[in-house]
Amino acid sequence: MGGEIRFGIVGLGMGRNRANIVTRTPGAKLVAVCDFWEERGRLAEKELGCQWVADYELLLKRTDIDVIGIFTPSGTHGRFLLKALESGKHAFTTKPMDIRVEVCNQAIELAEKKKLVLAVDFDLRYNPDNHRIKSALEKNALGNPIAAEMSMKWFRSQSYYDGGYPPGWRSRLETEGGSLANQAVHFLDLLLFWFGPVKTVFGKKGTFAHRIETEDTACALVQFQSGVLATIFSTTCSFPDQGTSIHLTGTTGSLSWYNGKVTLFERMKKSVSLEEKPGYVRPELAATPESEKLNLSDFPIPENLPQNIIEDMMAAIKDRQPVQCDGKQGRASVSLFSAIYRSSRTGESVIPD
């Protein structure tokens, strides 16, 4: 496809940021935004030089839009995606892809049938360091991967759940999933990006500090098909907010990630042989292998890595490049948090759908 790629953005909460990016991206054109809130829509129309429409159906009928970007409440993402794809538009949505696996399946099937691009907007997929970590793991920089620990300790006030548009959508099961589906899904996707498909899940969840229908705290033990074991903890009850940490352990080294930055990346200079059988040594006198610090910049990133979802969609449409998170990958994180919820209900280990 030659010429400009023309965008329509639905939902002007987080969508306003993505609309701004469209206006700054060469080769992209922001044609229209859609939002029920007239004040917000009129402001975007004035400041971004696009048109505002309140009716999503009218937006889809336009012939001057190639791509629809969806930034509505989580439980509506799939419905908006399906309508966009049915109308013949390429489409992407903010995370999560939806809160129901079956709706994700419908969107994937429809996109494939119509040969349209379908993507999920995960910011962390556009961070070069996260790609370098994936490369380092693939090259066994830490030895064979053994385990991962993800801990998200965020704070959200009751007013956060009571607010939004429409008011209170974050507090309802119909439109939201909870701390895993709304906040921790970023980091679930990152673990899936690094370690691949999940084999089994055992989880627990609860609501402790908010008046909401969803959970505000969850934990899980996850086994990946690769054999890697991971613990997952997410909460929006942590005051003060302590951010997110991920620790990766391999047979010869470790990597620590905190709020998007790598804070430790080290391995043994010489691995310890399992064949050695020394005589008894008191634990406090046992030798410790010498450590060597690794440099993340020594590991490659994909050529022409997009900086954001707008560049990603343009490369996919114009150059047939794969998007960073397609429908099937977007579905994987929905499948994972759904499995944690299901395990918590049944009290048993489950296999993700």
- In terms of domains, do 115 and 258 share one? no
Residues 6+ apart with CB under 8 A from 20: 48
- In terms of domains, do 129 and 102 share one? no
Whether the per-residue pLDDT at 271 is higher than 70: the answer is no
Residue 279 lies in a domain: yes
Q: For 1-32, how does the pLDDT look when each residue is reduced to its tens digit (9 = 90+)?
A: 568 999 999 999 999 999 999 999 999 999 99
Report the C-alpha gap between 130 and 334 in whole angstroms: 20
Average pLDDT, the chain: 95
Report the C-alpha gap between 165 and 152 in whole angstroms: 25
Report the C-alpha gap between 102 and 93 in whole angstroms: 16
Report the C-alpha gap between 243 and 61 in whole angstroms: 42
- In terms of domains, do 255 and 110 share one? no
Q: Is the pTM of this model over 0.85?
A: yes
Helix (H) or strand (E) holding 341: helix 327-346
Percent with pLDDT over 70 in the chain: 96
Residue 250 lies in a domain: yes
Cα 338 from chain centroid (whole Å):
14
Report the C-alpha gap between 269 and 278 in whole angstroms: 20
Q: In this predicted structure, which of 103-117, 140-154, 211-225, 268-282 has the lowest mean pLDDT?
A: 268-282
- In terms of domains, do 340 and 196 share one? yes
Residue 351 lies in a domain: no
For residue 79, give its domain range.
5-123+306-326
Residue 101 lies in a domain: yes
- In terms of domains, do 179 and 117 share one? no
- In terms of domains, do 289 and 310 share one? no
Per-residue pLDDT, averaged over 327-342, amounts to 98
| Total of domains in the chain | 2
- In terms of domains, do 240 and 141 share one? yes
User: What is the reported pLDDT for 276?
Assistant: 56
Report the C-alpha gap between 337 and 233 in whole angstroms: 12
Amino acid at 108: I
CB 182 within 8 A of CB 212: no
Task: List the 145-153 sheet strands across, edge first.
Answer: 198-206, 217-224, 229-235, 145-153, 243-250, 253-258, 261-268, 291-293
User: What is the reported pLDDT for 273?
Assistant: 57
User: What is the reported pLDDT for 44?
Assistant: 97
User: What is the reported pLDDT for 280?
Assistant: 66
Helix (H) or strand (E) holding 147: strand 145-153
- In terms of domains, do 114 and 161 share one? no
